[in-house]
Amino acid sequence: CQVDLSNLSKEHTHKLEMPLEEGEGCLVLLVTLTASAAVTISDLSVTSLEDQKEREEILKRYSLMAMFHNMKDVGFLQGKVIRAEALMAADFCSKFSLLGKSDPFCVVELNNDRLLTHTVYKNLNPEWNKVFTFNVKDIHSVLEVTVYDEDRDRSADFLGKVAIPLLSV
Over its length of 169 residues, how does the chain's per-residue pLDDT go in tens digits? Answer: 888 888 888 767 888 898 888 778 888 888 877 655 567 777 777 655 566 676 676 666 666 665 566 556 677 788 899 999 999 888 765 444 456 789 999 999 998 888 999 999 999 999 999 988 888 888 899 999 999 999 877 888 999 999 999 998 8
pLDDT value for 116: 92
Q: Are residues 77 and 12 in the same domain?
A: no
Beta strands in 10-166 (DSSP E): 13-19, 26-32, 40-43, 75-83, 91-92, 100-101, 104-110, 113-116, 127-136, 142-149, 157-165
DSSP one-letter string for 10-52 = BTSEEEEEEE-TTSSSEEEEEEEB---SSSEEEETT--GGGSH
pLDDT value for 142: 95
Q: How many domains does the chain have?
A: 2
Q: Are residues 13 and 72 in the same domain?
A: no
Q: Are residues 112 and 156 in the same domain?
A: yes
pLDDT value for 96: 46
Q: Are residues 106 and 24 in the same domain?
A: no
pLDDT value for 65: 62
Distance, in Å, from the CA atom of 19 to the CA atom of 73, rounded to the nearest integer, reads: 40
pLDDT value for 126: 96
Contact 66, 76 (CB under 8 A): no
Q: Are residues 119 and 55 in the same domain?
A: yes
Of 77, 5, 67, the residue nearest 41 (C-alpha): 77
pLDDT value for 9: 83
Q: Are residues 28 and 78 in the same domain?
A: no
Q: Are residues 22 and 52 in the same domain?
A: no
Contact 128, 117 (CB under 8 A): yes
pTM: 0.66
pLDDT value for 103: 93
φ/ψ of 80, rounded to 5, equals -115, 125
Q: Are residues 59 and 76 in the same domain?
A: yes
Q: What is the CATH number for 69? A: 2.60.40.150
Q: Are residues 77 and 150 in the same domain?
A: yes
Q: Are residues 27 and 43 in the same domain?
A: no
Parent domain of 22: 1-35
Contact 126, 83 (CB under 8 A): yes
